[in-house]
């Protein structure tokens, strides 16, 4: 539902935020500031209430004026300035600013504005849906389980340091399947494979490494249900192991550790477990909740236990899909084949994919000519939960892209072309991801204020120093949430950029640089990279960005005081208070308090302010002026007027 901030709604209606806030308070919305946003129903209710109140005030004013005209009161001696003010008022039709007609016009305008907001929101949503895959679509189906639902296998990704045995493990697992062994092993794979354990299956993504894992996530597709972190028993936790751990943690995916190469004489399982502790992975046998399985991918030792543990972890999640639902699949891999054209391995997430289906996938489309299962066997259909290779797409597509079905090839082409066009436009427009300077501009537009950070430094010491400084900064404020989604040591790389895309973060680097290719990747993805050599400077920038993200605080300030010298009556206005400003300044539109014998007799808006012939916005002491408010007619000579304004107070973190 579209939302609008109180001050901008008030501005549209030609009202003070305070007046609108008073109406909102009557509707039960008390803890609001001019910067608070209200939904359109609330806005409409408040405007209607104000319209009613104005109508009543007008009726009362008319009645009072008529009564006054009948009584024909004696005119009092007038001061020169005040007299001129009164005459001036008589000359033209005086309209109180809060007029039902104005409010009605305002209401109509508001309606139009809200309609515009709705249209914009819909267009934005459509853009997002068209250009980027919807993470919700790629996610596991939610909500009540339909009768036609079936259980689906968990999806597992293997991550770890180079040479620790990811490929060997995947090969070994792929070939544990009886059928696979019978056919002499799977040699040609499609990018994903399945392993059967009794009557259950596990799907393995064959592209190992956290780069692929995060790339998928960056595209909005989080397909992994369980991650296997592989650590070589002879080598231990290495930089890429740490990176992998952080990527998995950021994705909030459950993790099983496989300590590999236990066949080697120098293998030291206990040492590896010890190292894992440094990264908050406490093995189960030591009282933690990290499952650790020693394996030898080469000797095929411990693989059954690993599979069993993967099923155990996945069981908690109750994975299901509906073969009858609309088909949604996620691209795992895509390539160009000389004879067959574009190939795409997809994971069918929901619904069923069949030969002959018309599909759209990112900016590509086509009719499915052939489907191949993970063993390379042609199939007619593929139910949800399984990987399948699709032949028939017009183009190669990116990993993480969503595939859906369309009614006709014509429709599919239209959608694909539309997306191509949007992509071009987006490229030209330069995208709009989180950037530090944008955070400041986002003030007043974003409700939730998160500042996600990917942090890289040359040494762990700097990372730790920065993390604790940022945490301290974060603790001082409730409104903004700094989240360090990832920390790492070493030069900035493309995987950091993907991580930033995946978590809508900006990248902070200390004593580290980005190569031209990394900078290019960041520019393509509209990710901001900020590098520093001094922690203080980085903190300062963040502090500034956070200040920009904070809701402004408004404080009321007394700006002027005046004394009522004479009263004038006017058939149109009612009563005019001719005053002398004794201190400061009176401002039209400010909050006005009228004090008589030390008691407050009125509080409302200073609606009209005149100085001789002129309608003025403000007048300074010691001049004379005329003051009127449609809300107050009971003036007396000697009354003191105090004018207050709401002022934005700059926020500081100190």
Residues that bind ligand GDP (CB under 6 A): 160, 162-168, 208, 260-261, 263-264, 296-298
Nearest distance from C-beta of residue 264 to ligand GDP, angstroms: 5
Which of 348, 384, 386, 341 is CA-nearest to residue 366?
341
Nearest distance from C-beta of residue 224 to ligand GDP, angstroms: 17
**Comparison of 156 and 643: residue with beta carbon closer to ligand GDP:** 156
Nearest distance from C-beta of residue 259 to ligand GDP, angstroms: 10
**Comparison of 240 and 350: residue with beta carbon closer to ligand GDP:** 240
d(CA 346, CA 375): 14
Q: How many C-beta neighbours within 10 Å does residue 124 have?
A: 10
**Comparison of 405 and 493: residue with beta carbon closer to ligand GDP:** 493
**Comparison of 171 and 528: residue with beta carbon closer to ligand GDP:** 171
Q: For the purposes of burial, counting CB atoms within 10 Å of the CB of 533, is it exposed (0-12), middle (13-18) or buried (19 or more)?
A: exposed
**Comparison of 173 and 388: residue with beta carbon closer to ligand GDP:** 173
**Comparison of 162 and 179: residue with beta carbon closer to ligand GDP:** 162
Establish whether the linkage from the previous residue to 561 is cis, with ω within 30° of 0: no
Structure tokens at 591: 């909050």
DSSP string, 241-269: HHHHHHHHHHHT--EEEEEE-TTSTT--H
Q: How many C-beta neighbours within 10 Å does residue 59 have?
A: 11
**Comparison of 260 and 404: residue with beta carbon closer to ligand GDP:** 260
Nearest distance from C-beta of residue 178 to ligand GDP, angstroms: 22
**Comparison of 195 and 457: residue with beta carbon closer to ligand GDP:** 195
**Comparison of 165 and 488: residue with beta carbon closer to ligand GDP:** 165
Residue whose token pair is 């301290």: 472
Helix (H, G, I), strand (E, B), or coil: what is residue 628?
Answer: strand
Nearest distance from C-beta of residue 168 to ligand GDP, angstroms: 3
Which of 484, 470, 483, 518 is CA-nearest to residue 498?
518
Nearest distance from C-beta of residue 298 to ligand GDP, angstroms: 3
**Comparison of 137 and 233: residue with beta carbon closer to ligand GDP:** 233
How far are the Cα atoms of 446, 450, 652 from residue 477, in angstroms, in the given order? 17, 12, 10
How far are the Cα atoms of 593, 606, 640 from residue 598, in angstroms, in the given order? 11, 20, 9
Residue whose token pair is 């929901």: 350
**Comparison of 97 and 302: residue with beta carbon closer to ligand GDP:** 302
Nearest distance from C-beta of residue 215 to ligand GDP, angstroms: 17
Nearest distance from C-beta of residue 263 to ligand GDP, angstroms: 5
DSSP string, 281-331: --BGGGTSSBEEEE-BTTTTBSHHHHHHHHHHHHHTT--EE-TTSPPEEEE
d(CA 40, CA 111): 9
d(CA 388, CA 382): 7
Nearest distance from C-beta of residue 211 to ligand GDP, angstroms: 12
DSSP 631: T
Helix (H, G, I), strand (E, B), or coil: what is residue 407?
Answer: coil
Nearest distance from C-beta of residue 206 to ligand GDP, angstroms: 11
Which of 647, 646, 644 is CA-nearest to residue 587?
644
- The answer to whether the beta carbons of residues 345 and 397 sit under 8 Å apart is no
**Comparison of 306 and 497: residue with beta carbon closer to ligand GDP:** 306
Helix (H, G, I), strand (E, B), or coil: what is residue 535?
Answer: helix
């Amino acid at each position: 539902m579209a939302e609008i901030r109180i001050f901008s709604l008030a501005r549209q209606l030609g009202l003070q935020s305070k007046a609108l806030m008073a109406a909102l308070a009557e509707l039960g919305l008390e803890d609001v500031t001019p910067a608070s946003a209200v939904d359109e129903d609330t806005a409409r209710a408040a405007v209607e209430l104000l319209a009613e109140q104005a109508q009543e005030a007008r009726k009362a004013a008319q009645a009072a004026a008529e009564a006054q005209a009948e009584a024909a009161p004696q005119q009092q001696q007038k001061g020169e300035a005040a007299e001129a003010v009164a005459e001036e008022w008589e000359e033209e039709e005086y309209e109180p600013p809060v007029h039902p007609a104005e409010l009605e016009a305002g209401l109509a305008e508001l309606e139009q504005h809200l309609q515009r907001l709705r249209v914009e929101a819909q267009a934005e949503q459509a853009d997002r849906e068209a250009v980027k895959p919807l993470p919700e679509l790629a996610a596991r189906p939610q909500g009540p389980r339909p009768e036609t639902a079936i259980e689906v296998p968990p999806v597992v990704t293997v991550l770890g340091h180079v040479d620790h045995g990811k490929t060997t493990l995947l090969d070994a697992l792929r070939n544990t399947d009886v059928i696979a062994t019978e056919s002499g092993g799977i040699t040609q794979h499609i990018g994903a494979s399945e392993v059967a354990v009794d009557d259950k299956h596990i799907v393995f993504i064959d592209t190992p490494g956290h780069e692929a894992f995060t790339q998928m996530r960056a595209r909005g597709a989080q397909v992994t249900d369980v991650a296997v972190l592989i650590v070589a028993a002879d080598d231990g936790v290495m930089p890429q192991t740490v990176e992998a751990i952080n990527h998995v943690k950021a994705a909030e995916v459950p993790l099983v550790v496989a300590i590999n190469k236990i066949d080697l004489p120098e293998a030291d399982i206990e040492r590896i477990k010890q190292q894992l502790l440094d990264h908050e992975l406490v093995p189960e046998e030591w009282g933690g909740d990290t499952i650790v399985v020693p394996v030898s991918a080469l000797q095929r030792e411990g693989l059954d236990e690993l599979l069993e543990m993967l099923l155990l972890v996945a069981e908690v999640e109750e994975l299901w899909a509906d073969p009858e639902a609309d088909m949604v699949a996620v691209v795992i891999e895509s390539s160009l084949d000389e004879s067959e054209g574009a190939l795409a391995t997809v994971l069918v997430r929901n619904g069923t994919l069949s030969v002959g289906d018309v599909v759209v996938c990112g900016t590509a489309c086509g009719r499915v000519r052939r489907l191949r299962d993970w063993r390379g066997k042609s199939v007619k259909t593929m139910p949800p939960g399984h990987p399948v290779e699709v032949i028939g797409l017009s183009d190669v597509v990116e990993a993480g892209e969503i595939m859906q079905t369309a009614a006709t090839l014509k429709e599919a082409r239209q959608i694909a072309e539309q997306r191509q066009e949007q992509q071009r436009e987006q490229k030209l427009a330069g995208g709009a991801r989180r950037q530090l300077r944008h955070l400041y501009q986002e003030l007043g537009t974003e409700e939730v204020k998160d500042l996600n950070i990917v942090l890289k430094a040359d040494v762990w010491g700097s990372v730790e120093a920065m993390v604790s400084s940022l945490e301290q900064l974060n603790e001082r404020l409730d409104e903004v949430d700094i989240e360090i989604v990832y920390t790492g040591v070493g030069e900035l790389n493309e995987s950091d950029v993907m991580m930033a895309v995946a978590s809508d973060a900006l990248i902070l680097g200390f004593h580290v640089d980005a190569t031209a290719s990394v900078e290019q990747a960041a520019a393509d993805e509209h990710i901001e990279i900020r590098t520093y050599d001094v922690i203080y400077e980085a903190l300062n920038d963040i502090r500034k960005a956070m200040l920009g993200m904070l809701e402004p605080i408004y404080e009321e300030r007394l700006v002027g005081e005046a004394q009522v010298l004479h009263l004038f009556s006017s058939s149109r206005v009612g009563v005019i208070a001719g005053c002398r400003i004794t201190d400061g300044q009176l401002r039209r539109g400010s909050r006005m308090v009228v004090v008589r014998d030390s008691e407050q007799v009125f509080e409302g808006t200073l609606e009209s302010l005149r100085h001789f012939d002129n309608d003025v916005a403000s007048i300074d002491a010691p001049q004379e002026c005329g003051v009127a408010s449609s809300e107050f007619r009971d003036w007396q000579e000697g009354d003191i007027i105090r004018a207050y304004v709401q002022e934005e107070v700059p926020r500081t973190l100190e």
